[in-house]
Every structure is written in structure tokens, then in C-alpha cells.
Amino acid sequence: MASPKVWIVINFSLGVLALLLILTLFDVTLPSLGQAQYVLDRESPLCLVEWKGQHNVLDDINTCCLEARKQLTCVYESVELELGRVDWNCKTGSGSVLSYELNNKAYRYCQQQNYW
């Protein structure tokens, strides 16, 4: 026979599982960790287009996400520029190539899109 502590843990676990199943039954969706991080991040989304050392702000975040997704790789490179801090660099190769640089807020927004 199991000890009372084991039964308490089992009952609590089954209660949490039942609660999650009931929420699923009523189509209640819980936010994922990515959405929670996006909501808690207080900085504004920043997307920069870099070409041959020139940085330009791309104000349309949806266009930025589409173009960044077309690139082959997005790597984490935190860089402080005069326009702001960017954390992600999305580009197709090395050398003199067009790249899209995003801060964490913009990158998390892009990850929430269906096409990402």
C-alpha cells in the first residue's frame, strides 16, 4: 500500500490532468511560452535591413518577417547599433549579402506567424 504522501501527489497530478482535459473540451487555449515571452518583452519590435554596411529601418513588421523567413539562416548575434540593439541576423550567405536584423521582440513576433 502506498503512503499518504504518494496518494496526495497522485491525486494532485490527476486533478491537474483533469483540469487540462476540461479546458481542452471547451476549446480554451493556453498561451505558449513564446507568446508569454513576447507579451512580457517591453521593447518595441525593431527590424533593420543591412546592405554593404548601411542599416535602414523596415517599419512594416509583417514584410520584415516574410523577407527574413526567405533567408537561409537566422543566427543569434546581439549587436548594439545607433538605431538600436538587434539580436538576430537573417541572411542567405556570407560576404556582401543583404541581411535582415531583428531584435528579440520582432523575432518572437515573426515566430508566431503561420509561415515561420
Report, as an integer, the average pLDDT of 26-34: 73
Q: Facing residues of 73 across strands?
A: 91
Comparing 33-37, 84-88, 109-113, which segment has the lowest mean pLDDT? Answer: 33-37
Given this model, what pLDDT does residue 34 score?
62
Instruction: Convert the pLDDT of each residue in 92-110 to its tens digit.
Output: 988 889 999 999 999 989 9
Which residue, 104, 47, 97, is CA-closest to 78? 104
pLDDT band at 45 (very low <50, low <70, confident <90, very high): very high
Cell numbers that stand for 94 in this block: 556570407
Its pTM stands at 0.68
Map out the domains of the chain as residue ranges.
1-30, 33-111
